[in-house]
Structure 1
Amino acid sequence: MDKAVFPAGAYCRAVEGIIAAGQRMDRHGWVPATAGNISIRLPDGNLAITRSGGHKGLLGADGVIAVDMAGVPLNAGDRPSAETLLHCQIYAHDPQAGAVLHGHSVASTVLSMLGGDALVLEGYEVQKVFAGQTTHDARVHVPIFDNDQDIARLSRVVAPHLDGMRAGYIIRGHGVYVWGADMDTALARLEGLEFLLACELEKRKFG
């Protein structure tokens, strides 16, 4: 899309980054229909985040809005995603977080519905994409939380576990949340996690 359509400055760059991330996630099939949401922390402490109801692979500048750290739109009438509070929670918990990604892949959806409160990943070289991981010879726990349409209540369930999340988390039957210091880091972690989840799904197919 022509950069001239964007407002100037940091918000412009955030919008461009979110649009590019949406297109990349769409190419992998991680944001079907209107699923998923994407955000970036702005220098003033507010957030740029995808508007509710849009296809993330077809975003234009009007598909991204600004909200404050409580998830309240800065422009009256804008409608953020229902899950904006989960983005706000991550940014509030981790001052280094600069971008948050939420996708709905087949692997994360199916694996999370097979039971258990976490997936354990071990033996994979790609584990090293996650913060603090330097070897394949380690175990990475990915918590799974039951889906809840009451996002405030869900955020309270997630909160006690945020410190230990190296690879993000999964909402059961729903999808993953991953974040990083910037969009490139967040995307690398998302792609790493989705690759590992796809491997786990394939392993289970073979028993």
Structure 2
Amino acid sequence: MNAPALNEQRVTDADPVASAQQQVMAAGQFAAARGWVPATSGNFSARVDADRIVVTRSGADKGALTPADLAVVNLREPLPPGLSAEAPLHVARYLADASIGAIFHVHSPAAALASRRNARHGVLTLEGWELQKAFAGVTSHLAVLNVPVFANSQDTVALAAEVEARLQNQADLAPGYLLAGHGLYAWGRTGRETLRHLEAFDVLLQLQLEWERNPL
């Protein structure tokens, strides 16, 4: 898995905003090159410090992001206009887990299809795939990892509350969740780790789809 060389400066560095912007811009390029964010879809964010994140504005081409396409947002203040409608989903995750350093959301075909196929179950379970070990903290292909699947909704404030309530009460979680017919949210402690999780998810979802069609 060859993620781009992200600027992983710590928040104690001279310009943590620029570091977070660089992580988001590099992630957008990475995802666009793989066809995961067609037609300006998707949204990306990275933590600046305990109270702030950088997040993509609405309608930006994720493969050609510039600092002007990104907003610095305080997690504990009302969101400013012009952000992606899904910004509340990012904010809720950062507030729920202080260890999260980046959240990337893509509309990859595998995620959209796998989420729809598993929507009625509300969860997609990964087990037995060696690539599961690409997720932070997973040391065996025998681990059982649950990927929650939520119904898609335009009310992202209510959806964020639903997501967080379930994430706090579900065991054996993978570092991501699916929105049915929509796509994948993944997170990690850094931008680099989050990109590794995204790439692993994409392959694992493709494998799972094929397995469900043709189980041995």
Tell me whether the two structures share a fold, i.e. TM-score over 0.5. yes
1:67 matched to 2:67 = no
Preserved CA contact (<8 Å) 1:140 1:167 = no
Aligned length: 197
Q: Which residue of 1 aligns with 2:209?
A: 201
Q: Which residue of 2 aligns with 1:19?
A: 25
Q: Which residue of 2 aligns with 1:179?
A: 187
Question: 1:205 offset after TM fit, Å?
Answer: 4.3
One-letter code aligned to 1:173: G
In the alignment, the residues of structure 2 paired with residue 202 and residue 112 of structure 1 have an alpha-carbon distance, to the nearest angstrom, of: 14
Q: Which residue of 1 aligns with 2:7?
A: none
1:86 matched to 2:85 = no
Q: Which residue of 1 aligns with 2:9?
A: none
Superposition RMSD on alpha carbons, in Å? 1.7
1:99 matched to 2:102 = yes
In the alignment, the residues of structure 2 paired with residue 71 and residue 190 of structure 1 have an alpha-carbon distance, to the nearest angstrom, of: 29
Q: Which residue of 2 aligns with 1:150?
A: 155
Question: 1:128 offset after TM fit, Å?
Answer: 1.1
Q: Which residue of 2 aligns with 1:3?
A: none
Give the secondary structure class of the aligned counterpart of 2:145: strand
Give the secondary structure class of the aligned counterpart of 2:192: helix
Preserved CA contact (<8 Å) 1:167 1:193 = no
Preserved CA contact (<8 Å) 1:126 1:192 = yes
Task: Give the alignment's TM-score, normalised by structure 1.
Answer: 0.89
Preserved CA contact (<8 Å) 2:90 2:103 = yes
Residue deviations 1:119-154 (CA, integer Å, cap 9, x gap): 111111111122332100121110100001001111
Between the two proteins, what is the percent identity of the paired residues?
A: 38
In the TM superposition, structure 1's runs of 4+ consecutive aligned residues that sit over 4 Å from their partners are none
Preserved CA contact (<8 Å) 1:18 1:39 = yes
Q: Which residue of 1 aligns with 2:5?
A: none
Preserved CA contact (<8 Å) 1:38 1:50 = yes
Preserved CA contact (<8 Å) 2:50 2:98 = no
Q: In the superposition, relative to structure 1, how do residues 101 and 193 fare at CA in structure 2: closer, same or farther (>3 Å)?
A: same
- The higher-RCO structure (CA 8 Å, 6+ apart) is 2
Preserved CA contact (<8 Å) 2:51 2:76 = no
Q: Which residue of 1 aligns with 2:15?
A: 9
In the alignment, the residues of structure 2 paired with residue 182 and residue 122 of structure 1 have an alpha-carbon distance, to the nearest angstrom, of: 25
Preserved CA contact (<8 Å) 2:37 2:62 = yes
Q: Which residue of 2 aligns with 1:28?
A: 34
Preserved CA contact (<8 Å) 1:15 1:64 = yes
Give the secondary structure class of the aligned counterpart of 2:38: coil
In the alignment, the residues of structure 1 paired with residue 22 and residue 77 of structure 2 have an alpha-carbon distance, to the nearest angstrom, of: 21
One-letter code aligned to 2:89: L
Question: 1:44 offset after TM fit, Å?
Answer: 5.6
Q: Which residue of 1 aligns with 2:121?
A: 116
Query: Which consecutive residues of structure 1, in runs of 5 or more, have no partner in the other structure?
Result: 1-7
Query: Which consecutive residues of structure 2, in runs of 5 or more, have no partner in the other structure?
Result: 1-13
In the alignment, the residues of structure 1 paired with residue 212 and residue 109 of structure 2 have an alpha-carbon distance, to the nearest angstrom, of: 14
Residue deviations 1:24-53 (CA, integer Å, cap 9, x gap): 011111111111110011126211001111
Q: Which residue of 1 aligns with 2:141?
A: 136
In the alignment, the residues of structure 2 paired with residue 198 and residue 85 of structure 1 have an alpha-carbon distance, to the nearest angstrom, of: 28
Task: Give the alignment's TM-score, normalised by structure 2.
Answer: 0.85
